[in-house]
Structure 1
Amino acid sequence: MINKFWNMTLEEIKNGFTFNSKLDKYVCNICGKEFENGEIFKIENRYFDAKKMIKLHIQRDHLEVLQILMSYDKKYTGITENQKELLSIIYSGMTDIEIAKKMGVSAATIRHQRFTFREKAKQAKLYLAIYELAFQGMEKNKNKPDSKDDIVEVHNGAKMVDDRYFITKAEEDQVLFTAFSALTPLKLKIFSSKEKKKIVILKKIAEQFERNKRYSEKEINLILKEIYEDFATIRRYLIEYGFMERTTDCNEYWLK
């Protein structure tokens, strides 16, 4: 979900892809598809390098990055449905008078809204600079390099981020210690009914699957059965909590 954008630059978010220097791959922000640097990709009778291919992939498979970003809920973007509609129309290149006629308002109203968008963008940039400086200072000055008070990152597929996801590293470690009898290989002894603990457990189990790989239901069951006897319950919650997705016929599963 929105968490995946946290460590990206503004340009990476706008472009729709990032470059993973460790893997030497370009990665699509939207679907996770990877294009290895140095590899040549052929489409019909044309050849593309990885950087050109990731751009082409986004254009062909995902259309407009703007629309995808605006599809996120207001609690993540701060943008209302009416504002989304106006931004989409502005993106289309229409003049203030044309937009006003389309939306049934005055041109002055449209100009005022564009001014508001601009001022909000200025505030957002300044806020981000202040935030980064403040927390960089905290990291620099705290006594322990790996503080147990650090908040655990929310997984990308989380469907509704609320207090359940407010989990510190210390809490996560304690849940892992009590819920699992072994971490290598992974063996779950207690699947807690408490929401925070459930999320920590499911996150750890999800790490047993490879990203960008499709699994059959049989393969999913075999992996989960080695971890916990009631594998069907774990499989259901992995889907319900947004750690995994599946096709409507349940023939294929994959990490979100």
Structure 2
Amino acid sequence: MKASDSRLQTASLEEIKRGYVEEGMAYSCICCGFTTEPGIVYPDEGVLYDAVRYMGVHIEKVHGSVFEYLLELDKSVTGLSDVQRGLLAQFYEGKKDAEVQQALGIGSASTIRNHRFVLKEKERQAKIFLALMELLKNKDLHAPATWVSPIMKQGHTIHQRSFEISEEERERVLRSYFPEGISGPMTTFHMQQKHKFIVLTEIAKRFEPRRQYTEKQVNTLLEKVHADYVEIRRYLVDYGLLERKEDGSQYWLGSAAEEQGNGRGDGKQPKGSSAKLTDNSAESLTMEQQVPEERAGKGEKSMNRRKELQEQAKEVKTEAGVYQIRNERNGKVYIDSTPNLKTINGQQFMLQMGSHLNRRLQAEWNEYGESAFTIEVLEVMKKDDNPYADPKDALAKCLESWFEKLEPYGDRGYHGEPKPSN
């Protein structure tokens, strides 16, 4: 699971819609993990932005929109069929029913209207389901979260019996991810579920039993394990290896740590005030005394990284336009428009996966093979300086003109014949 996937899982509905979450003193993009920080001014094309507004600029330039990013997620996440996904993409571009039918080559305009009704019905059902889950959580504290991570759970804990792990396999996995030894850094956190279980139970051993940690202390400890310490922290909590207060102010070793054979902790919150530590507090103070020096080095690296990301964002230019997918064997073409031409590679990916929304095109792709097709841009839209210009309308007219030029119907293309106007 990528860091962005983890953010998406824990984000609220409002955070998902706006495309970023607040993490400490930073804003993180749920699509890719790009961060901005309050107090920093971000220049872009002669305009200065604060952290929040620049996050919006980043999302638009790199991802097109939050809508486009979410729509490209796997159907196991969205619950949408390929046809529904294609329809939503067309509706988002503001196309009329006849234009959608022409682009997708399915049914008629009345068929598209029926699909609109089905999607609205799905929306109403989703609202009721969310309301039911909220009411259930209020009634039952043990009800599942709005989005449950795809991990094997019994109550709150991942049990070792969920996996068959020999001591030899455990040591082999740890050597693979901790080449400098189990007390050293980890190479990556992108791994299969079983390996993640082994790695996390080992990381949990770095925490002391019956001791409270602030979030800052947890982060400082986990930073030495891997740069993506926020995701690791979340997984430790998900697996029950760490437990925390609802506001995230205090963490302690969870009951799962003892159940996994770590010999650590009893899973109960330590007694006493949140500021009170165990007999190891002297060691903690030593660590805190070292933080300013470490912070200076990390702060410089963080600033350099931010500058690098800002420069990359400046270089990313989005262009709207019309493109075609052409069958070189028989000359048939499929044409469509997009507000971001950088996303047309997604068309090739869908064809490779056998999930393209135009069934006629997909059938011939399967028959002739990938080498028989080319994807090319037909026209790039020029930016209109007129503040009253409607870019969506201009793009729709551009696509319509290409339909008139190429007439991609019947033996010439993969689109359904246009309905005669009354």
TM-score w.r.t. length of structure 1: 0.60
Distance in 1, matches of 2:160 and 2:183, equals 15
1:1-256 alignment runs, 5 A limit:
4-20=7-23, 23-102=24-103, 103-139=105-141, 154=149, 161=150, 165-168=151-154, 169-172=156-159, 186=182, 197-203=194-200, 208-211=225-228
Deviation at 1:204, TM superposition (A): 5.2
**Distance change >3 Å, CA 7–CA 113, structure 1 → 2:** same
Query: Secondary structure in 2 aligned to 1:69?
Result: helix
**C-alpha distance in structure 2 between counterparts of 1:197 and 1:52, whole Å:** 40
Counterpart Cα distance in 1 of 2:111 and 2:63: 32
1:246 corresponds to: none
Aligned to 1:249: none
One-letter amino acid matched to 1:31: C
Query: Unaligned 5+ residue runs, structure 2?
Result: 172-180, 185-191, 204-221, 231-422
**Residue aligned with 1:6, SS:** helix
- The one of the two structures with greater contact order (alpha-carbon pairs below 8 A, sep at least 6) is 2
**Secondary structure at the counterpart of residue 10 of structure 2:** coil
SS of 2:140's equivalent in the other structure is: helix
Residue 53 of structure 1 and its aligned partner are, at CA, apart by 0.7
**Contact between 1:32 and 1:212, CA under 8 Å: does it hold in 2?**
no
Q: How many residue pairs align between the two structures?
A: 182
Point out where structure 1 has 5 or more consecutive residues left out of the alignment.
155-160, 189-194, 214-256
Q: For residue 27 of structure 1, give the secondary structure of its aligned residue in structure 2.
A: strand
Q: For the residues of structure 2 that align with 1:53 and 1:121, how far apart are their CA atoms? A: 31
Q: Deviations over 1:200-251 (max 9, x none)?
A: 12345685201299xxxxxxxxxxxxxxxxxxxxxxxxxxxxxxxxxxxxxx
CA distance in 1, matches of 2:92, 2:49: 28
Return the letter of the residue paired with 1:198: H
Q: Deviations over 1:69-109 (max 9, x none)?
A: 12222221111111111111111111112222332422111
**Distance (whole Å) between structure 2 residues aligned to residue 211 and residue 196 of structure 1:** 17
In structure 1, what is the Cα distance between the partners aligned to 2:90 and 2:140? Answer: 42
User: Is the partner of 1:202 in helix, strand or coil?
Assistant: helix
> What whole-Å deviation, never above 9, does each CA across 1:37-76 have from its counterpart, x for those lacking one?
2221123432110011100111111113222212222221
Instruction: Note closer, same or farther for the CA distance 1:119–1:40 as it changes in structure 2 (3 Å cut).
Output: same
Letter in 2 for 1:123: Q
Instruction: Verify the 8 A CA contact 1:33 1:212 in the aligned structure 2.
Output: no
Alignment deviations for residues 152-171 of structure 1 (CA, whole Å, 9 cap, x no partner):
963xxxxxx5xxx2134433
Residue 133 of structure 1: how far off its partner (Å): 1.7
Distance 1:212 1:93, change over 3 A: farther
Structure 1 residue identity aligned to 2:18: N
| Secondary structure of the corresponding residue to residue 112 of structure 1 | helix
Structure 1 position 129, deviation (Å): 1.3
Task: Determine the structure 1 residue equivalent to 2:356.
Answer: none
Q: Distance in 1 between matches of 2:88 and 2:73?
A: 14
Q: Show CA shifts across 1:127-152 (max 9, x none).
A: 0111122123222xx6xxxx9x99x9
In the TM superposition, residue 9 of structure 1 has moved relative to its aligned partner by 2.5
- In structure 2, C-alpha distance between the alignment counterparts of 1:67 and 1:204, rounded to whole Å: 37
The answer to whether the 8 Å contact 1:97/1:107 transfers is yes
CA distance in 2, matches of 1:104, 1:134: 40
Of structures 1 and 2, the larger Rg is shown by 2
Partner Cα distance (1:19, 1:58) in 2: 15
User: What letter corresponds to residue 125 of structure 1 in structure 2?
Assistant: K
> Could you tell me how far 1:186 is from its partner in structure 2?
4.8
Maintained 8 Å contact 2:101/2:109: yes
Percent sequence identity over aligned pairs: 27
Q: Is the 8 Å Cα contact of residues 28 and 36 (structure 2) preserved in structure 1?
A: yes
Going from structure 1 to structure 2, the CA distance change for 1:130 and 1:153 (only over 3 Å counts) comes to closer
Cα separation, partners in 2 of 1:100 and 1:43, compared to 1, 3 Å: closer
With over 3 angstroms needed to count, the CA separation of the structure-2 counterparts of 1:69 and 1:3, relative to structure 1, is same
* Aligned twin of 2:364: none
Q: Retained in 1: the 8 A contact 2:26–2:37? A: yes
